[in-house]
Chains A and B, each alone.
Chain A
Amino acid sequence: MDEESLLLSLELASGSGQGLSPDRRASLLTSLMLVKRDYRFDRVLFWGRILSLVADYYIAQGLSEDQLSPRKTLYSLNCMEWSLLPPATEEMEMQTSVVKGRFMGDPSHEYEHTELQKVQIKEETRLVSIIDQIDKAVAVIPRGALFKTPFGPIRVNRTFEGLSSSEAKKLSSYFHFREPVELKNKTLLEKADLDPSLDFMDSLEHDIPKGSWSIQMERGNTLVVLRSLLWPGLTFYHAPRTKNYGYIYVGTGEKNIDLPFML
């Protein structure tokens, strides 16, 4: 969620039951602004909070002008001091796929995994990889919030006035906030209906398994909330006909592998 509208966003996303305590909120407001200045980000998003056994990780992401360029991730244990995390690589992902269980809460903790040989994986690596996976899998943005210009960069659409109520209930009006992966696989007929300046990302409609998103109206129909069932804890909210939208992840950082059985 955008750091600029942090308070409102937290309030709207609170339907999932997890949020931030007032002291954390207050410290976030100040510290995120400083982060934005220090790292020269164009926009800072408060990504969420990963619950661990001892201390929670608070994660923020910074964006540059081009909205789809790789984001820089920072973490903090107390919402005041932020440390930059290294970008995620495939190797990291392979390593962390063997680690199971909750996060410990100490970034320097090392998990030991014995397969052919003993491998030690740092918690920081795991953190980076999990955040990256969550981003790639379930970061959501509504259709029309970003648009693509013929000159290249993806920009925030300042005239985005929100989805209409009927559009807001459909999964096809929401996109994955990442480089498109499945767009090229669409048939020509489908592509003809797309608007190239708005529909340049994958929509949530074709996510596998089907039904891995729960879409609900809350607050008496004035707020649409999407919750991911694959990564429980990710909440995306949007108030139709307004500019407010955002997503936040508050969870344990574990993928819900039992999803197909639970549906």
Chain B
Amino acid sequence: FLSVVDLRRRRRLGGFSDLPSPPSHPVFSSLHPLLLLQEVAFCKACEMEKGKDSRNTLISTLRNFAWNCLLGILSVGPIPDHIAFIMDGNRRYAKIHNLKEGAGHKLGFAALMSMLRYCYELNVKYVTIYAFSIDNFKRRPEEVKSLMELIREKIEGLIREESIVNQYGVRVHFIGDLKLLDETVRLAAEKAMAATSGNSNAVLSICIAYTSTNEIVNAVQQSCEEKWDEFRILDSCGGAYGLTRYVGIGENGENLIGLEDIERHMYMKVGPAPDIVIRTSGETRLSNFLLWQSGCSFLYSPSALWPEIDLRHLVWAVLNFQRDQAYMEKKKKIL
């Protein structure tokens, strides 16, 4: 894991060859906001990964000050409650850097851990990630198998004591048609959900074997079953409802399944609608992700590939979201 992090940081930060020791120059070595954010992110990440203060208390204090300043700036506006990520670009990253197959996804996992830390440090309560779509099963069987193996390994890592979910008190949900997964992966997911069910500070929803259309159809089926069960009970009590074994239809032909019924049975009922949907690699499509929930979400699409995503992208997404919110509030008042 550390060597993967090392490779990523070396490429991005250039001259800092010794990791994870802090850089020897002062934190505020450049006024360029980009470098400043990189410095803050790097320093914060080092502290969070090492879990102990740097030898130099003054630099540590300055880093914390910089981080608190950043938090202060962002807290002027509304912090999003829920951010969703489409982690696109892992394979492209591996291809560009001539890495072996699968390395891109491992680096992508490291990027995910960083982003989760930043989100939880920024008090974003709900984070949803698109880990594996039902459409992804169309990929080559070897690729699917190695992805599933990586996913299983990382899910098992999540419930270890030192993992991020325990550090931040995160409850994990696996969202999707879990019956489509291999039994080992499904069991690991169920175990992780059970192990974190007592956490309540934040929520991580991992969409796996998921598509929005599958989610909607499942919600419709569940709603119909529920209505059928209700009427069957009433009929058995002499309610004389004249049950017909039809999908979602009442005695007088009225529609019994409403919006509330569907929303009650959606997999994603565990959290509110996302405030921001971030898709990396510059692609601007949802790929069957949270179609129902993202109607009012701010869509943000940085061109960075997923393993390259960093604090600056998150900060920029939040700042744009805050501007967008201000504009939407203004629009509501005019209307």
User: Do A and B interact?
Assistant: no
- What is B's interface to A at a CB cutoff of 8 Å? none
